Amino acid sequence: MGKSTGFLEYLRIDNPSCEPLERIRSYKEFHTPLSEEKRREQAARCMDCGVPYCQNGKMLGGMISGCPLNNLIPEWNDLLFRGSKTAALKRLLMTNNFPEFTSRVCPALCEKACICGVHDEPVSTRDNENAIIEYGFENGLMQPQIPAARSGKKVAVIGSGPSGLAAADTLNKRGHSVTVFERSDRPGGLLMYGIPNMKLEKSVILRRIDLMKAEGVEFRTECNVGENVSAGEILSDFDAVVLACGSANPRDIKAEGRDADGIYFAVDFLKATTKSLLDSELADGKYISAKDKNVVIIGGGDTGNDCVGTSVRHGCKSVVQLEMMPKLPDERAESNPFPEYPRVCKTDYGQEEAIAVFGHDPRIYCTTVKEFIKDANGSLSAVKTVRLEFVPDPKSGRKVPKEIEGSEEILPCELCLIAAGFLGCQSYVAESFGVELDQRTNVKTEAGRHSTNVEKVFTAGDMHIGQSLVVRAIREGRDAAAEVDEFLTGYTNL
């Protein structure tokens, strides 16, 4: 430990961000790095705890506490403080295939489990991670790592989201020949089209894809396995298959007037904007525009927030984000002790921007849509909302939502975006391979395993565990790769 008193001497400083009214003028990332000196001071705040909960990555109280990848956080924080960035990079890459992704989009589970944060601000681990990996790219350290020998085994990975990429990268480095099939026109899956550019610039993804290609991974885009590509051919051509197609069935809202024009799933809204942005800087107009519209977003999670930020950049007339659950407390409750993930209210970048533009928080809690109201042409013109209260269910005892009589309200709305989460994988891919699904429509496996009921077919990521985080998807891909490696060779050292 290089600076035993660092956490006493230095206050936490985050990477500065552009002011909301400035950053909404573009779709570019809006954080800037600290100076070398300030970054080393931030790394010095790491306490090198006897029990580093930050890298624990275990379920506590129904949520993950610490990093699911078990990143060696105290080690590379210490190396970063000492100025040994190359050594820090090596330690970081031992556990994380894609630090450039997690250091941008992860909710920093490590920081929520930082002991320094019990009585002070936690260590800025995510920003430190970003500084290390960007140093590697900027200084030519991220060179292709081509395997010295090939195993002669071929693996097909279906889906190029974070779990698919992690599986492909890990298996390729082990010496297997990997081909990634992606149904979209660009690789990256959720990373490419599910996360807005201002949160994760697509050049960052393409930079990594180019590196993987140089290392020998083959990418085939516009290959929709189960439709224009035969699952049977893949099974006959490859020695193993990894299904990593994500949790792509959006949860719908069943309310009167649902057939109105102007209602879209959030994933379609976000994808259309990103694709148009990449194809033409939005000049082609091939996206779902929120310009001059009253926007209502159903869903209070990260995807809903991304829709808020994107709508503001489009130039919407107003934006409201409906959340059926109550507002979380501003401070950790006694029933939610450290090191559990803190269930507290956070205001994310999109909400900050809406506040700056419209003068108020866009979120309305304990509220849902009861009816979509159409005009004479069948287009959406308003939504009828209703307030909810949570009462104990007579049978289970669990609290369930109940409409509050007389609480209906009409909100003007020409564009409604449904960001209510996902219900599992799209079944046609699973059916084409003959793999079983569980009750949640995720691919069924034994607990803690990735092999399916079909020989040589494995699964990983959201398709396996349901909608989750990028960092968990990467862990899923790494774990599935180890299982595939053992299947192909009889043992694994992954």
Mean per-residue pLDDT for 463-471? 95
- With tokens 């409604």, the residue in question is 416
Residue 409 is encoded by which pair of tokens? 């309200």
Q: Is residue 143 part of a domain?
A: no
What is the distance between the alpha carbons of residues 105 and 278, in angstroms, rounded to a whole number? 20
- Tell whether 85 and 208 lie within a shared domain: no
pLDDT confidence bin for 298, thresholds 50/70/90: very high
Tens-place pLDDT, residues 260-290: 999 999 999 999 999 999 999 999 999 999 9
Helical (H) or strand (E) element with 464: helix 462-465
- Tell whether 429 and 413 lie within a shared domain: no
- Tell whether 311 and 364 lie within a shared domain: yes
Tens-place pLDDT, residues 59-92: 998 899 999 999 999 999 999 999 999 999 999 9
Of 392, 418, 444, which residue is a domain's last? 418
- Tell whether 292 and 224 lie within a shared domain: no
Query: Is the pLDDT confidence value at 104 over 80?
Result: yes
- Tell whether 244 and 162 lie within a shared domain: yes
CB proximity list for 488: less than 8 A, separation 6 or greater: 151, 153, 155, 176, 239, 240
Q: What CATH code is carried by the domain that includes residue 99?
A: 1.10.1060.10
Query: Is the pLDDT confidence value at 160 over 80?
Result: yes
Of 107, 138, 169, which residue is a domain's last? 138
Can you point out the beta strands (E) in 16-131? 58-60, 63-65
Q: What CATH code is carried by the domain that includes residue 340?
A: 3.50.50.60
Q: Determine what percent of the chain is predicted with pLDDT higher than 70.
A: 100
Q: Is residue 409 part of a domain?
A: yes
Structure confidence at residue 3 (pLDDT) = 84
- Tell whether 162 and 231 lie within a shared domain: yes
- Tell whether 165 and 123 lie within a shared domain: no
Q: Determine what percent of the chain is predicted with pLDDT higher than 90.
A: 95
Query: Is the pLDDT confidence value at 1 over 90?
Result: no
Helices (H), 399-439: 427-433
Tens-place pLDDT, residues 410-455: 999 999 999 999 988 999 999 999 999 999 999 999 999 999 999 9
- Tell whether 393 and 435 lie within a shared domain: no
Tens-place pLDDT, residues 105-126: 999 999 999 999 999 999 999 9
- Tell whether 413 and 267 lie within a shared domain: yes
Q: Is residue 257 part of a domain?
A: no
Helical (H) or strand (E) element with 370: strand 367-374
3-state DSSP call for residue 318?
strand
Query: If you write DSSP's letter for every residue of 305-347 in order, what string do you get?
Result: HHHHHHHHHHT-SEEEEEESSPPPPSS--TTS-TTSPP-----
Mean per-residue pLDDT for 208-225? 98
Of 380, 403, 418, which residue is a domain's last? 418
- Tell whether 436 and 359 lie within a shared domain: no
- With tokens 């260590």, the residue in question is 123
Question: Which residues span the domain enclosing 476?
Answer: 154-248+423-489
Tens-place pLDDT, residues 355-388: 999 999 999 999 999 999 999 999 999 999 999 9
Q: Is residue 357 part of a domain?
A: yes
Q: Is residue 270 part of a domain?
A: yes
pLDDT confidence bin for 2, thresholds 50/70/90: low
What is the distance between the alpha carbons of residues 245 and 190, in angstroms, rounded to a whole number? 10
What is the distance between the alpha carbons of residues 288 and 252, in angstroms, rounded to a whole number? 18
- Tell whether 404 and 437 lie within a shared domain: no
pLDDT confidence bin for 45, thresholds 50/70/90: very high
Structure confidence at residue 396 (pLDDT) = 85
Tens-place pLDDT, residues 330-353: 999 999 999 999 999 999 999 999
- What DSSP state is assigned to residue 95? T
Structure confidence at residue 397 (pLDDT) = 84
What is the distance between the alpha carbons of residues 174 and 493, in angstroms, rounded to a whole number? 9
Q: Is residue 289 part of a domain?
A: yes
Domain count within the chain: 3
Q: Which pTM value belongs to this model? A: 0.96
Q: Is residue 72 part of a domain?
A: yes
- Tell whether 162 and 202 lie within a shared domain: yes
Structure confidence at residue 110 (pLDDT) = 97
Structure confidence at residue 232 (pLDDT) = 96
Q: Is residue 144 part of a domain?
A: no
Query: Is the pLDDT confidence value at 482 over 80?
Result: yes
- Mean per-residue pLDDT of the chain: 96
